Amino acid sequence: MSWRAAVAVILLIAGGLLEMLAVLGICVMRDAYDRLHYPGLAGFGAFFIGLAVIIRESFSLIGDKALLVGLILVLSSPILAQTTVRSLLIREFGDWRAKTRERRER
């Protein structure tokens, strides 16, 4: 087994474990606010899998696309979480800018 294959297998296992941990966290958490912490972890899992494909296949059309998908997931997950929290706050309180004290009183 070459060093490239060994590193690719390690990255693939790490990415798969992160994906499984993210799915388990989303399934176990009680409310949507707690579940929002796990899509970022899933993005890093996809990034590790993309790196494994790059190391195994080198820079090719397949490797470039895999790495691009991983980067997009890592970079877009904080934006997705923030917009989801805002929409949840709007649905729950009517305005996402409501102060913390007003939220506790309701």
pLDDT tens, residue by residue, 50-85 = 899 999 888 888 888 888 888 898 899 889 989 998
What's this model's pTM, rounded to 2 decimal places? Answer: 0.78
- 26-38 exposure pattern, b = at least 16 Cβ within 10 A, e = fewer: beeeeeeeebbeb
Alpha-carbon distances of 61 from 4, 5, 24, 53, rounded to whole Å: 18, 19, 32, 11
Alpha-carbon distances of 88 from 4, 42, 54, 105, rounded to whole Å: 45, 21, 38, 18
Give 18's pLDDT tier (boundaries 50, 70, 90). Answer: very high
Residue ranges covered by each domain of the chain = 3-105
